Amino acid sequence: MKRYGWLITALLLVVFAGPAGAVVLLNHDAALKAMFPDAGKVLPEATALTAEQIAAVKAVCGGKWTMYPAGAKTDDVAVNDTVTFYFGTKDGKKTGVAVMEMQPGKWGPVHYIVALDLTGKVTNMAVMSYVEQRGRPISTRRFLEQFIGKTSKSALSVGKDVDAVSGATISSRATAFAVKKAIALYEAVYLAPEQ
């Protein structure tokens, strides 16, 4: 038994250790290609948000810029008031827009890309990376497809119009929040009436 002590210790470390690092599913370029497979070009437009735009986004998102769920071990998601919108183009015309968004999950940040049509309706989305132990199913098409067609008029709330992944409620809520925020950002910058 004594000679297997190191093996038992190693197994316990593997079983009870925290996440080793982020699981990267899509890098920046692959994420944009996935959102705009038919685009001739993808044009980035960096936008410094005004105080009014930030307030409008927070109003849509329950007064929050970032969702810090109870029980989350994540506290390293930076607040950024500059957003880059990625416009897919075809024949020189904008065909859609994508926003990359990061929200805290239970074990670490989750990076998303959300594609919208020019009216602000979700057309596609993907999880780019995550550090979740039980939240891996949030990256599946089965889970993400329920966001397709959602708009700012949608509740985008787990238990209302979003079904959570069993055992990954925090990750599911983070995903719904990221989609809601992406729509709100686009609407605040590009669809809001001029002041």
Query: Over the stretch 12-69, which tens digit does the pLDDT of each residue have?
Result: 333 333 445 789 999 999 999 999 999 999 999 999 999 999 999 999 999 999 887 7
Buried residues in 9-23 as b, exposed as e (16+ CB within 10 A)? eeeeeeeeeeeeebe
Pairing of strands 122-130, 109-116: antiparallel
- The backbone torsions φ and ψ at residue 14, rounded to the nearest 5 degrees and listed phi first, read -65, -45
C-beta separation of 103 from 131 below 8 A: no
Degrees to nearest 5, angle at CA 31 with 30 and 37: 80
C-beta separation of 114 from 1 below 8 A: no
**Structure tokens belonging to residue 114:** 């959300």
Residue 145 contacts by C-beta under 8 Å, 6 or more apart in sequence? none
Task: Name which of 98, 104, 101, 159 is nearest 124 in CA terms.
Answer: 98
**Structure tokens belonging to residue 158:** 């787990």
Residue 107 has pLDDT above 90, yes or no: no
Task: Name which of 186, 129, 194 is nearest 152 in CA terms.
Answer: 186
**Structure tokens belonging to residue 174:** 């983070």
Residue 164: other Cβ atoms inside 10 A: 18
Question: Tokens 């950002």 sit at which residue?
Answer: 185
Task: Name which of 194, 176, 192, 185 is nearest 82 in CA terms.
Answer: 185
DSSP secondary structure code for residue 190 in this structure? I
Per-residue pLDDT tens over the stretch 114-145: 999 999 999 999 999 998 777 689 999 999 99
pTM: 0.86
Residue 11 has pLDDT above 50, yes or no: no
